[in-house]
Amino acid sequence: MKKIIRKKKSNEVRIGLLGLGTVGSELANLIGINATRIDKEYGIRLNLSAAFVRDVSRKRNVNIHIPILTTNPDQITKNPDIDVVCECIGGNGFEETRQFILDSLHHKKDIILSSKKALALYAPEFIEAGNSNQVQIRYDATVGGGIPISKVFEASFRGDTVTSISGILNATSNYIYSKMENDQMDFSQALKQAQQKGYAENNPSDDVDGFDALYKICILTMLGMKRIPSPQSAIAQTFRNVELCDMQYASELGYSIKPLALADRVNGHVEYHVGPTLISNRHILANTFENYNSIMVKGNICGQLGFYGQGAGDKPTASAMFDDLLNLILSKQHNLFQGQEISSYSQIQLKEKNSKKYWRLSLLNEPGALANVTSVFAHNDVNIEKILQKNKHKEYMELVLITGIAKKHKELFSELSKNPSLKIENVLHVTE
Ligand SMILES: NC(=O)c1ccc[n+]([C@@H]2O[C@H](COP(=O)([O-])OP(=O)(O)OC[C@H]3O[C@@H](n4cnc5c(N)ncnc54)[C@H](OP(=O)(O)O)[C@@H]3O)[C@@H](O)[C@H]2O)c1
Protein backbone atom coordinates (compact mmCIF):
# COMPACT_ATOMS: atom_id res chain seq x y z
CA MET A 1 0.00 0.00 0.00
CA LYS A 2 1.34 3.42 -1.01
CA LYS A 3 2.17 5.65 1.99
CA ILE A 4 0.01 8.76 1.79
CA ILE A 5 1.38 11.23 4.27
CA ARG A 6 4.53 11.56 6.24
CA LYS A 7 3.69 11.35 9.88
CA LYS A 8 0.17 12.01 11.06
CA LYS A 9 -0.11 15.08 13.25
CA SER A 10 -2.16 14.60 16.39
CA ASN A 11 -4.98 16.91 15.28
CA GLU A 12 -4.99 15.71 11.68
CA VAL A 13 -7.91 13.86 10.09
CA ARG A 14 -7.05 12.10 6.83
CA ILE A 15 -9.97 11.92 4.45
CA GLY A 16 -10.43 9.61 1.48
CA LEU A 17 -13.08 10.24 -1.16
CA LEU A 18 -14.81 7.45 -3.03
CA GLY A 19 -15.89 9.29 -6.20
CA LEU A 20 -14.90 12.72 -7.44
CA GLY A 21 -17.84 13.55 -9.71
CA THR A 22 -20.55 16.17 -9.19
CA VAL A 23 -20.86 15.78 -5.41
CA GLY A 24 -17.32 14.54 -4.66
CA SER A 25 -15.70 17.51 -6.44
CA GLU A 26 -17.85 19.99 -4.55
CA LEU A 27 -17.07 18.26 -1.25
CA ALA A 28 -13.34 18.39 -2.06
CA ASN A 29 -13.67 22.13 -2.75
CA LEU A 30 -15.60 22.69 0.50
CA ILE A 31 -12.85 20.92 2.44
CA GLY A 32 -10.26 23.15 0.74
CA ILE A 33 -12.20 26.38 1.35
CA ASN A 34 -12.92 25.64 5.02
CA ALA A 35 -9.73 23.90 6.16
CA THR A 36 -8.00 26.98 7.61
CA ARG A 37 -11.11 28.17 9.45
CA ILE A 38 -11.80 24.70 10.87
CA ASP A 39 -8.20 24.51 12.09
CA LYS A 40 -8.56 27.93 13.77
CA GLU A 41 -12.01 27.32 15.28
CA TYR A 42 -11.77 23.67 16.26
CA GLY A 43 -8.07 22.83 16.09
CA ILE A 44 -8.79 20.14 13.48
CA ARG A 45 -6.57 19.77 10.40
CA LEU A 46 -8.61 18.38 7.53
CA ASN A 47 -6.32 16.57 5.14
CA LEU A 48 -7.89 15.41 1.89
CA SER A 49 -5.44 12.60 1.20
CA ALA A 50 -6.81 10.51 -1.66
CA ALA A 51 -9.70 10.03 -4.06
CA PHE A 52 -10.89 6.96 -5.94
CA VAL A 53 -12.28 7.45 -9.48
CA ARG A 54 -12.81 5.31 -12.59
CA ASP A 55 -10.83 7.47 -14.97
CA VAL A 56 -7.84 9.43 -13.64
CA SER A 57 -7.39 11.31 -16.93
CA ARG A 58 -10.84 12.95 -16.71
CA LYS A 59 -10.72 16.72 -16.16
CA ARG A 60 -12.13 17.65 -12.75
CA ASN A 61 -13.52 20.83 -11.31
CA VAL A 62 -11.45 20.65 -8.13
CA ASN A 63 -9.50 23.55 -6.60
CA ILE A 64 -7.60 21.58 -3.98
CA HIS A 65 -4.54 19.39 -4.44
CA ILE A 66 -5.32 15.73 -3.78
CA PRO A 67 -2.05 13.79 -3.37
CA ILE A 68 -3.44 10.50 -4.65
CA LEU A 69 -6.00 10.05 -7.42
CA THR A 70 -6.43 6.33 -7.93
CA THR A 71 -8.50 3.70 -9.71
CA ASN A 72 -7.77 1.27 -6.88
CA PRO A 73 -10.54 1.53 -4.22
CA ASP A 74 -8.35 -0.30 -1.67
CA GLN A 75 -6.15 2.81 -1.55
CA ILE A 76 -9.09 4.39 0.29
CA THR A 77 -11.10 1.61 1.87
CA LYS A 78 -8.24 -0.52 3.20
CA ASN A 79 -5.54 2.09 3.63
CA PRO A 80 -4.35 2.49 7.24
CA ASP A 81 -3.45 6.11 6.43
CA ILE A 82 -7.12 7.06 5.90
CA ASP A 83 -9.30 7.91 8.93
CA VAL A 84 -12.61 8.92 7.34
CA VAL A 85 -14.15 7.84 4.04
CA CYS A 86 -16.67 9.99 2.17
CA GLU A 87 -18.68 7.91 -0.29
CA CYS A 88 -19.78 9.97 -3.33
CA ILE A 89 -20.40 7.22 -5.91
CA GLY A 90 -23.86 5.76 -5.38
CA GLY A 91 -26.14 5.64 -8.40
CA ASN A 92 -24.86 3.43 -11.17
CA GLY A 93 -21.96 2.06 -9.19
CA PHE A 94 -24.19 0.98 -6.37
CA GLU A 95 -23.21 -2.72 -6.14
CA GLU A 96 -19.52 -1.81 -5.88
CA THR A 97 -20.48 0.94 -3.45
CA ARG A 98 -21.95 -1.56 -1.01
CA GLN A 99 -18.67 -3.49 -0.99
CA PHE A 100 -16.58 -0.30 -0.65
CA ILE A 101 -18.68 0.77 2.35
CA LEU A 102 -18.30 -2.63 4.02
CA ASP A 103 -14.54 -2.71 3.31
CA SER A 104 -14.14 0.76 4.84
CA LEU A 105 -16.08 -0.19 7.97
CA HIS A 106 -14.20 -3.47 8.40
CA HIS A 107 -10.95 -1.50 8.14
CA LYS A 108 -12.16 0.74 10.97
CA LYS A 109 -12.88 3.85 8.99
CA ASP A 110 -15.74 6.17 9.85
CA ILE A 111 -17.84 6.83 6.78
CA ILE A 112 -20.10 9.54 5.39
CA LEU A 113 -22.62 8.20 2.86
CA SER A 114 -24.35 9.82 -0.10
CA SER A 115 -25.95 6.74 -1.63
CA LYS A 116 -29.60 6.40 -0.58
CA LYS A 117 -29.95 3.19 -2.57
CA ALA A 118 -27.12 1.50 -0.68
CA LEU A 119 -28.39 2.76 2.68
CA ALA A 120 -32.06 1.87 2.06
CA LEU A 121 -31.19 -1.65 0.95
CA TYR A 122 -28.34 -2.48 3.33
CA ALA A 123 -28.66 -0.28 6.44
CA PRO A 124 -28.73 -3.18 8.97
CA GLU A 125 -25.60 -4.72 7.42
CA PHE A 126 -23.75 -1.37 7.46
CA ILE A 127 -24.78 -0.51 11.02
CA GLU A 128 -23.75 -3.93 12.27
CA ALA A 129 -20.33 -3.62 10.61
CA GLY A 130 -19.99 -0.06 11.98
CA ASN A 131 -20.89 -1.05 15.53
CA SER A 132 -18.71 -4.14 15.62
CA ASN A 133 -15.74 -2.08 14.39
CA GLN A 134 -16.54 0.87 16.67
CA VAL A 135 -16.81 3.33 13.79
CA GLN A 136 -19.53 5.75 12.78
CA ILE A 137 -21.75 6.01 9.71
CA ARG A 138 -23.44 9.29 8.85
CA TYR A 139 -25.92 9.77 6.01
CA ASP A 140 -27.64 13.13 6.05
CA ALA A 141 -26.92 13.68 2.34
CA THR A 142 -28.92 10.60 1.35
CA VAL A 143 -32.30 12.35 1.82
CA GLY A 144 -33.38 15.91 1.15
CA GLY A 145 -30.09 17.30 -0.22
CA GLY A 146 -29.21 20.23 2.05
CA ILE A 147 -32.12 19.67 4.50
CA PRO A 148 -30.51 18.43 7.74
CA ILE A 149 -33.24 15.88 8.32
CA SER A 150 -31.21 13.06 9.85
CA LYS A 151 -29.81 15.53 12.39
CA VAL A 152 -33.40 16.55 13.23
CA PHE A 153 -34.37 12.95 13.91
CA GLU A 154 -31.17 12.34 15.85
CA ALA A 155 -31.77 15.25 18.22
CA SER A 156 -35.58 15.52 18.38
CA PHE A 157 -38.84 13.64 19.05
CA ARG A 158 -37.28 12.06 22.15
CA GLY A 159 -40.52 12.14 24.10
CA ASP A 160 -42.70 11.82 21.05
CA THR A 161 -43.79 9.19 18.53
CA VAL A 162 -43.54 9.97 14.84
CA THR A 163 -46.78 8.82 13.25
CA SER A 164 -46.46 10.14 9.73
CA ILE A 165 -43.79 11.33 7.29
CA SER A 166 -44.57 12.67 3.85
CA GLY A 167 -42.63 14.61 1.33
CA ILE A 168 -41.55 15.66 -2.07
CA LEU A 169 -38.27 13.81 -2.05
CA ASN A 170 -37.28 13.55 -5.68
CA ALA A 171 -36.09 16.88 -7.03
CA THR A 172 -35.93 15.71 -10.66
CA SER A 173 -39.59 14.69 -10.82
CA ASN A 174 -40.66 17.78 -8.93
CA TYR A 175 -38.79 19.95 -11.43
CA ILE A 176 -40.54 18.12 -14.30
CA TYR A 177 -44.01 18.52 -12.72
CA SER A 178 -43.33 22.21 -12.04
CA LYS A 179 -42.53 22.77 -15.71
CA MET A 180 -45.69 20.87 -16.72
CA GLU A 181 -47.89 22.81 -14.30
CA ASN A 182 -46.44 26.28 -14.78
CA ASP A 183 -45.03 26.27 -18.32
CA GLN A 184 -47.38 23.75 -19.99
CA MET A 185 -44.53 21.49 -21.13
CA ASP A 186 -45.39 17.84 -21.58
CA PHE A 187 -43.52 15.22 -19.52
CA SER A 188 -40.88 14.38 -22.14
CA GLN A 189 -40.10 18.05 -22.92
CA ALA A 190 -39.74 18.82 -19.22
CA LEU A 191 -37.55 15.74 -18.69
CA LYS A 192 -35.28 16.88 -21.53
CA GLN A 193 -34.95 20.30 -19.93
CA ALA A 194 -34.17 18.71 -16.55
CA GLN A 195 -31.41 16.69 -18.25
CA GLN A 196 -30.00 19.82 -19.92
CA LYS A 197 -29.89 21.58 -16.55
CA GLY A 198 -28.15 18.62 -14.91
CA TYR A 199 -31.16 17.78 -12.69
CA ALA A 200 -31.75 14.43 -14.41
CA GLU A 201 -29.36 11.72 -15.48
CA ASN A 202 -29.12 10.31 -19.01
CA ASN A 203 -30.89 7.24 -17.67
CA PRO A 204 -33.50 8.93 -15.45
CA SER A 205 -35.35 5.77 -14.39
CA ASP A 206 -34.38 5.82 -10.69
CA ASP A 207 -35.78 9.35 -10.40
CA VAL A 208 -38.83 9.33 -12.66
CA ASP A 209 -39.96 5.77 -11.93
CA GLY A 210 -40.12 6.43 -8.19
CA PHE A 211 -37.28 4.21 -6.93
CA ASP A 212 -35.26 7.13 -5.55
CA ALA A 213 -38.29 8.48 -3.64
CA LEU A 214 -39.04 4.97 -2.35
CA TYR A 215 -35.48 4.54 -0.99
CA LYS A 216 -35.72 7.95 0.67
CA ILE A 217 -39.08 7.35 2.36
CA CYS A 218 -37.68 4.02 3.63
CA ILE A 219 -34.68 5.86 5.12
CA LEU A 220 -36.96 8.48 6.70
CA THR A 221 -39.16 5.73 8.12
CA MET A 222 -36.08 4.15 9.65
CA LEU A 223 -34.86 7.43 11.15
CA GLY A 224 -38.23 8.75 12.29
CA MET A 225 -40.21 5.66 13.20
CA LYS A 226 -37.23 3.62 14.38
CA ARG A 227 -38.23 0.58 12.37
CA ILE A 228 -36.52 -0.88 9.33
CA PRO A 229 -38.75 -1.25 6.28
CA SER A 230 -37.72 -3.32 3.31
CA PRO A 231 -37.88 -1.38 0.03
CA GLN A 232 -37.75 -4.68 -1.88
CA SER A 233 -41.27 -5.46 -0.64
CA ALA A 234 -42.72 -2.14 -1.85
CA ILE A 235 -43.82 -0.80 -5.22
CA ALA A 236 -43.41 2.76 -6.42
CA GLN A 237 -45.76 4.09 -9.08
CA THR A 238 -43.95 5.74 -11.94
CA PHE A 239 -44.06 9.55 -12.04
CA ARG A 240 -44.19 9.33 -15.86
CA ASN A 241 -47.89 8.59 -15.69
CA VAL A 242 -49.15 12.18 -15.77
CA GLU A 243 -50.29 14.11 -18.83
CA LEU A 244 -50.68 17.86 -19.25
CA CYS A 245 -54.48 17.53 -19.17
CA ASP A 246 -54.22 15.83 -15.74
CA MET A 247 -52.31 18.86 -14.46
CA GLN A 248 -54.99 21.19 -15.87
CA TYR A 249 -57.95 19.20 -14.52
CA ALA A 250 -56.32 18.85 -11.11
CA SER A 251 -55.83 22.61 -10.99
CA GLU A 252 -59.52 23.24 -11.89
CA LEU A 253 -60.48 20.96 -9.00
CA GLY A 254 -58.22 22.79 -6.51
CA TYR A 255 -55.19 20.46 -6.53
CA SER A 256 -51.60 20.31 -7.67
CA ILE A 257 -50.03 17.04 -8.87
CA LYS A 258 -46.78 16.26 -7.04
CA PRO A 259 -44.32 13.35 -6.86
CA LEU A 260 -45.26 12.34 -3.32
CA ALA A 261 -43.83 9.73 -0.96
CA LEU A 262 -45.44 9.03 2.37
CA ALA A 263 -45.32 6.62 5.29
CA ASP A 264 -47.99 6.41 8.01
CA ARG A 265 -47.55 4.31 11.13
CA VAL A 266 -50.67 2.19 11.57
CA ASN A 267 -50.72 -0.30 14.44
CA GLY A 268 -47.95 -2.83 13.76
CA HIS A 269 -47.13 -1.81 10.19
CA VAL A 270 -46.42 1.17 7.96
CA GLU A 271 -48.76 2.25 5.18
CA TYR A 272 -46.82 3.81 2.33
CA HIS A 273 -47.40 5.43 -1.02
CA VAL A 274 -44.93 6.60 -3.65
CA GLY A 275 -46.31 8.05 -6.88
CA PRO A 276 -47.94 11.01 -8.60
CA THR A 277 -50.49 12.46 -6.19
CA LEU A 278 -53.08 15.23 -6.24
CA ILE A 279 -52.44 17.47 -3.25
CA SER A 280 -54.88 20.13 -2.17
CA ASN A 281 -53.62 23.60 -3.08
CA ARG A 282 -54.01 24.58 0.57
CA HIS A 283 -51.30 22.10 1.60
CA ILE A 284 -47.69 23.28 2.09
CA LEU A 285 -46.42 20.43 -0.09
CA ALA A 286 -48.43 21.77 -3.04
CA ASN A 287 -46.24 24.87 -2.97
CA THR A 288 -42.93 23.06 -3.39
CA PHE A 289 -41.61 23.75 -6.88
CA GLU A 290 -38.61 23.20 -9.16
CA ASN A 291 -35.70 21.25 -7.60
CA TYR A 292 -36.89 21.86 -4.04
CA ASN A 293 -37.85 19.18 -1.51
CA SER A 294 -40.28 19.39 1.40
CA ILE A 295 -40.55 16.95 4.26
CA MET A 296 -43.50 16.96 6.69
CA VAL A 297 -43.18 15.04 9.93
CA LYS A 298 -46.07 14.46 12.32
CA GLY A 299 -45.49 13.60 15.94
CA ASN A 300 -48.13 12.52 18.44
CA ILE A 301 -47.15 15.38 20.73
CA CYS A 302 -45.47 18.05 18.60
CA GLY A 303 -47.99 17.83 15.74
CA GLN A 304 -46.97 18.69 12.19
CA LEU A 305 -43.49 20.05 11.39
CA GLY A 306 -42.15 21.02 7.96
CA PHE A 307 -38.68 21.17 6.41
CA TYR A 308 -37.90 22.77 3.06
CA GLY A 309 -34.81 23.18 0.91
CA GLN A 310 -32.96 22.25 -2.26
CA GLY A 311 -33.25 18.51 -2.59
CA ALA A 312 -30.42 17.89 -5.02
CA GLY A 313 -27.45 19.48 -6.63
CA ASP A 314 -23.75 19.42 -5.91
CA LYS A 315 -23.68 22.26 -3.38
CA PRO A 316 -26.56 21.33 -1.01
CA THR A 317 -25.49 17.66 -1.03
CA ALA A 318 -21.81 18.43 -0.42
CA SER A 319 -22.81 20.88 2.31
CA ALA A 320 -24.75 18.12 4.12
CA MET A 321 -21.74 15.78 3.79
CA PHE A 322 -19.34 18.40 5.08
CA ASP A 323 -21.53 18.95 8.17
CA ASP A 324 -21.63 15.20 8.72
CA LEU A 325 -17.84 15.10 8.43
CA LEU A 326 -17.29 17.82 11.00
CA ASN A 327 -19.92 16.49 13.42
CA LEU A 328 -18.38 13.06 13.18
CA ILE A 329 -14.88 14.36 13.93
CA LEU A 330 -16.14 16.48 16.85
CA SER A 331 -18.12 13.62 18.36
CA LYS A 332 -15.04 11.39 18.18
CA GLN A 333 -12.93 14.06 19.86
CA HIS A 334 -15.42 13.97 22.71
CA ASN A 335 -15.59 10.18 22.71
CA LEU A 336 -19.29 10.27 22.01
CA PHE A 337 -19.42 6.99 20.11
CA GLN A 338 -22.03 4.67 21.58
CA GLY A 339 -22.96 2.65 18.53
CA GLN A 340 -25.82 3.43 16.20
CA GLU A 341 -29.24 3.06 17.74
CA ILE A 342 -30.48 1.52 14.50
CA SER A 343 -28.92 -1.81 15.40
CA SER A 344 -31.75 -2.31 17.88
CA TYR A 345 -34.56 -1.43 15.45
CA SER A 346 -36.86 -4.21 14.34
CA GLN A 347 -38.12 -4.77 10.80
CA ILE A 348 -41.52 -3.41 9.85
CA GLN A 349 -43.89 -4.49 7.12
CA LEU A 350 -44.87 -2.02 4.38
CA LYS A 351 -48.47 -2.04 3.12
CA GLU A 352 -49.78 0.06 0.25
CA LYS A 353 -51.95 2.93 1.46
CA ASN A 354 -55.52 3.15 0.26
CA SER A 355 -56.60 6.68 -0.57
CA LYS A 356 -59.07 8.90 -2.31
CA LYS A 357 -58.68 8.78 -6.09
CA TYR A 358 -58.61 10.97 -9.19
CA TRP A 359 -60.13 9.26 -12.24
CA ARG A 360 -59.88 10.48 -15.83
CA LEU A 361 -62.31 8.52 -17.95
CA SER A 362 -63.14 8.72 -21.62
CA LEU A 363 -66.83 8.01 -22.13
CA LEU A 364 -69.00 7.47 -25.22
CA ASN A 365 -71.27 10.50 -25.42
CA GLU A 366 -74.72 8.85 -25.41
CA PRO A 367 -77.82 9.15 -23.23
CA GLY A 368 -77.49 7.30 -19.92
CA ALA A 369 -73.69 6.83 -20.20
CA LEU A 370 -72.87 9.12 -17.29
CA ALA A 371 -75.57 7.54 -15.09
CA ASN A 372 -74.15 4.07 -15.86
CA VAL A 373 -70.71 5.11 -14.66
CA THR A 374 -71.84 6.87 -11.51
CA SER A 375 -74.03 3.89 -10.58
CA VAL A 376 -70.93 1.61 -10.59
CA PHE A 377 -69.29 3.89 -8.02
CA ALA A 378 -72.52 4.04 -6.00
CA HIS A 379 -73.03 0.29 -5.71
CA ASN A 380 -69.34 -0.12 -4.77
CA ASP A 381 -70.08 2.27 -1.93
CA VAL A 382 -67.73 4.95 -3.24
CA ASN A 383 -68.68 8.56 -2.93
CA ILE A 384 -68.10 10.92 -5.89
CA GLU A 385 -66.87 14.14 -4.30
CA LYS A 386 -66.08 16.26 -7.35
CA ILE A 387 -66.87 15.92 -11.04
CA LEU A 388 -65.78 17.66 -14.26
CA GLN A 389 -67.15 16.99 -17.74
CA LYS A 390 -64.98 17.96 -20.70
CA ASN A 391 -65.56 17.83 -24.49
CA LYS A 392 -69.26 17.35 -23.87
CA HIS A 393 -70.09 17.83 -27.56
CA LYS A 394 -67.62 15.36 -29.03
CA GLU A 395 -68.19 11.64 -29.67
CA TYR A 396 -66.25 10.85 -26.51
CA MET A 397 -66.41 13.11 -23.50
CA GLU A 398 -63.87 13.24 -20.77
CA LEU A 399 -65.10 12.64 -17.25
CA VAL A 400 -62.91 13.61 -14.32
CA LEU A 401 -63.84 12.46 -10.83
CA ILE A 402 -62.48 12.79 -7.33
CA THR A 403 -63.80 9.87 -5.33
CA GLY A 404 -63.73 8.76 -1.71
CA ILE A 405 -61.79 5.71 -0.53
CA ALA A 406 -62.91 2.47 -2.17
CA LYS A 407 -62.66 -0.51 0.18
CA LYS A 408 -62.30 -2.74 -2.88
CA HIS A 409 -60.47 -0.61 -5.44
CA LYS A 410 -59.40 -3.55 -7.64
CA GLU A 411 -62.97 -4.81 -7.98
CA LEU A 412 -64.23 -1.32 -8.78
CA PHE A 413 -61.49 -0.85 -11.39
CA SER A 414 -62.23 -4.17 -13.06
CA GLU A 415 -66.00 -3.52 -13.14
CA LEU A 416 -65.43 -0.13 -14.80
CA SER A 417 -63.00 -1.71 -17.27
CA LYS A 418 -65.71 -4.10 -18.48
CA ASN A 419 -67.89 -1.23 -19.72
CA PRO A 420 -67.35 -1.07 -23.54
CA SER A 421 -68.41 2.61 -23.69
CA LEU A 422 -65.69 3.64 -21.26
CA LYS A 423 -61.91 3.83 -21.16
CA ILE A 424 -59.98 4.46 -17.93
CA GLU A 425 -57.30 6.97 -18.97
CA ASN A 426 -55.68 7.59 -15.61
CA VAL A 427 -56.11 6.93 -11.89
CA LEU A 428 -54.05 8.83 -9.31
CA HIS A 429 -53.90 9.10 -5.53
CA VAL A 430 -55.41 12.14 -3.84
CA THR A 431 -54.52 13.67 -0.51
CA GLU A 432 -56.13 16.73 1.09
N1 LIG B 1 -25.86 14.91 -7.87
C2 LIG B 1 -26.77 15.22 -6.94
O3 LIG B 1 -27.47 16.23 -7.01
C4 LIG B 1 -26.95 14.31 -5.74
C5 LIG B 1 -27.85 14.66 -4.72
C6 LIG B 1 -27.99 13.84 -3.60
C7 LIG B 1 -27.26 12.68 -3.51
N8 LIG B 1 -26.43 12.35 -4.53
C9 LIG B 1 -25.69 11.12 -4.41
O10 LIG B 1 -24.30 11.39 -4.49
C11 LIG B 1 -23.63 10.29 -5.09
C12 LIG B 1 -22.74 10.78 -6.20
O13 LIG B 1 -23.53 11.42 -7.17
P14 LIG B 1 -22.85 12.32 -8.30
O15 LIG B 1 -23.96 13.10 -8.91
O16 LIG B 1 -21.68 13.03 -7.76
O17 LIG B 1 -22.36 11.17 -9.32
P18 LIG B 1 -21.28 11.33 -10.48
O19 LIG B 1 -21.12 12.74 -10.90
O20 LIG B 1 -21.64 10.33 -11.53
O21 LIG B 1 -19.90 10.86 -9.81
C22 LIG B 1 -19.65 9.52 -9.48
C23 LIG B 1 -18.17 9.40 -9.12
O24 LIG B 1 -17.91 8.08 -8.72
C25 LIG B 1 -16.84 7.54 -9.51
N26 LIG B 1 -17.09 6.10 -9.69
C27 LIG B 1 -16.27 5.11 -9.30
N28 LIG B 1 -16.78 3.92 -9.59
C29 LIG B 1 -17.94 4.14 -10.20
C30 LIG B 1 -18.94 3.30 -10.74
N31 LIG B 1 -18.81 1.96 -10.73
N32 LIG B 1 -20.03 3.85 -11.29
C33 LIG B 1 -20.20 5.19 -11.29
N34 LIG B 1 -19.29 6.06 -10.78
C35 LIG B 1 -18.16 5.53 -10.26
C36 LIG B 1 -16.87 8.31 -10.79
O37 LIG B 1 -15.57 8.24 -11.36
P38 LIG B 1 -15.21 9.07 -12.70
O39 LIG B 1 -15.25 10.52 -12.28
O40 LIG B 1 -13.84 8.67 -13.07
O41 LIG B 1 -16.25 8.73 -13.70
C42 LIG B 1 -17.23 9.71 -10.27
O43 LIG B 1 -16.08 10.38 -9.81
C44 LIG B 1 -24.73 9.31 -5.48
O45 LIG B 1 -24.90 8.40 -4.41
C46 LIG B 1 -25.96 10.16 -5.57
O47 LIG B 1 -27.14 9.41 -5.33
C48 LIG B 1 -26.25 13.13 -5.65
pLDDT at res. 214 = 97
Closest C-alpha residue for ligand 1 atom 2: 313
> What is the best residue among 17, 23, 29, 115 to mutate for testing ligand 1's pocket, by most ligand atoms within 8 Å of CB?
23
> Which phi and psi angles does 292 have, rounded to 5°?
-85, 155
Q: Which atom of ligand 1 is nearest to the CA of 51?
A: 43
Is residue 216 part of the annotated active site? The answer reads: yes
pLDDT at res. 220 = 97
Options 109, 216, 258, 356, the catalytic residue: 216
* Amino acid present at 168: I
pLDDT at res. 88 = 95
- Alpha carbon separation from 356 to 142, 242, 287, 405 (Å, rounded): 30, 17, 20, 5
CA of residue 87 to ligand 1 center, whole Å? 9
Tens digit of each residue's pLDDT (9 = 90 or more) over 255-294: 999 999 999 999 889 999 999 999 999 999 999 999 999 9
CA of residue 106 to ligand 1 center, whole Å? 23
CA of residue 10 to ligand 1 center, whole Å? 32
Low-confidence ranges of the chain (pLDDT < 50): none
DSSP 144: S
Q: Are 355 and 273 in contact (CB under 8 A)?
A: yes
pLDDT at res. 99 = 96
Sheet with 137-138, strands from edge to edge, namely 68-70, 45-52, 12-18, 84-87, 110-112, 137-138
The set of protein residues with a Cβ atom below 6 angstroms from ligand 1 is: 19-24, 53-55, 58, 88-93, 96, 114-115, 141, 145, 312-314, 317
Closest C-alpha residue for ligand 1 atom 20: 21
CA of residue 356 to ligand 1 center, whole Å? 38
CA of residue 90 to ligand 1 center, whole Å? 6
Q: Which atom of ligand 1 is nearest to the CA of 212?
A: 47
Closest C-alpha residue for ligand 1 atom 32: 93
SS (H, E, C) 247-261: HHHHHHCCEEEEEEE
> What is the best residue among 54, 126, 212 to mutate for testing ligand 1's pocket, by most ligand atoms within 8 Å of CB?
54
Q: DSSP string spanning 218-234?
A: HHHHHHHH-EEE-GGG-
pLDDT at res. 313 = 85
Closest C-alpha residue for ligand 1 atom 9: 114
CA of residue 299 to ligand 1 center, whole Å? 35
pLDDT at res. 3 = 53
Closest C-alpha residue for ligand 1 atom 31: 93
